[in-house]
Amino acid sequence: MALFSPLYNKSQRAGMPTYRLIIGDRNLSSWSLRVWLLLRQFELPFELVTVDLDQPDTRDKILAYSPGGRVPILQTRDQTIWESLAIIEFVAENHPDLLIWPRDAALRARARVLAAEMHAGFTSLRDELSFNCQARVPMPSLSMAAKADVKRMTDIWREARQVHQGSCQNRGDFLFGPFSAADAMFAPVAVRFNHYSVPLDDTCRAYVEALLQLPNMVAWMADAGVA
Check residue 143 and give its pLDDT.
97
Is 135 among the domain residues?
Answer: yes
The β-bridge partners of 177 are: 174
Give the end of a domain, one of 94, 122, 157: 94
Q: Considering the entire predicted model, what is its pTM?
A: 0.90
Q: Which of 3-7, 18-22, 78-82 has the lowest mean pLDDT?
A: 3-7
Averaged confidence pLDDT in the chain = 89
Q: Which residue has the higher pLDDT, 137 or 157?
A: 157
Do 20 and 68 share a domain, yes or no? Answer: yes
Name the band, by pLDDT with cuts 50, 70 and 90, for residue 80. very high
CATH number of the domain bearing residue 34: 3.40.30.10
Q: Which residue has the higher pLDDT, 202 or 171?
A: 202
| DSSP per-residue codes, the chain | --SS-GGGHHHHHTTPPPEEEEEE-TTT-HHHHHHHHHHHHTT--EEEEEE-SSSTTHHHHHHTT-TT--S-EEE-SS-EEESHHHHHHHHHHH-TTS-SS-SSHHHHHHHHHHHHHHHH--HHHHHHS---TT---PPPPPPHHHHHHHHHHHHHHHHHHHHHHHH-SS--SBTTBS--HHHHHHHHHHHHHHHTT----HHHHHHHHHHHTSHHHHHHHHHTT--
Do 135 and 216 share a domain, yes or no? Answer: yes
Do 88 and 124 share a domain, yes or no? Answer: no
pLDDT of 100 higher than 90: yes
Check residue 103 and give its pLDDT.
93
Encode pLDDT of 168-193 as tens digits. Answer: 444 679 999 999 999 999 999 999 99
Do 90 and 196 share a domain, yes or no? Answer: no
Check residue 58 and give its pLDDT.
95
Check residue 226 and give its pLDDT.
72
Do 212 and 137 share a domain, yes or no? Answer: yes
- Cα angle: 20, vertex 24, 29; to 5 degrees: 125
Is 100 among the domain residues?
Answer: no
Is 99 among the domain residues?
Answer: no
37 and 184 Cβ atoms separated by less than 8 Å = yes
User: Residue 47 sits in which domain range?
Assistant: 6-94
Name the band, by pLDDT with cuts 50, 70 and 90, for residue 163. confident
Give the whole-angstrom CA distance, residue 12 versus residue 133.
34
Is 1 among the domain residues?
Answer: no
Do 82 and 180 share a domain, yes or no? Answer: no
Do 78 and 113 share a domain, yes or no? Answer: no
Give the end of a domain, one of 60, 94, 128: 94
Give the end of a domain, one of 50, 72, 94: 94
pLDDT of 154 higher than 70: yes
39 and 95 Cβ atoms separated by less than 8 Å = no
Q: Which residue has the higher pLDDT, 134 or 48?
A: 48
Encode pLDDT of 42-72 as tens digits. Answer: 999 999 999 999 999 999 999 999 999 999 9
Identify which of 168, 161, 151 has the alpha carbon closest to the alpha carbon of residue 111: 161
Query: How many structural domains are present in the chain?
Result: 2
CATH number of the domain bearing residue 218: 1.20.1050.10
pLDDT of 36 higher than 80: yes
Give the whole-angstrom CA distance, residue 81 versus residue 17.
13
Q: Region 189-210: what's the mean pLDDT?
A: 95
Q: Which of 22-31, 73-82, 113-122, 217-226 has the lowest mean pLDDT?
A: 217-226
Is 194 among the domain residues?
Answer: yes
Do 75 and 184 share a domain, yes or no? Answer: no
Do 121 and 176 share a domain, yes or no? Answer: yes
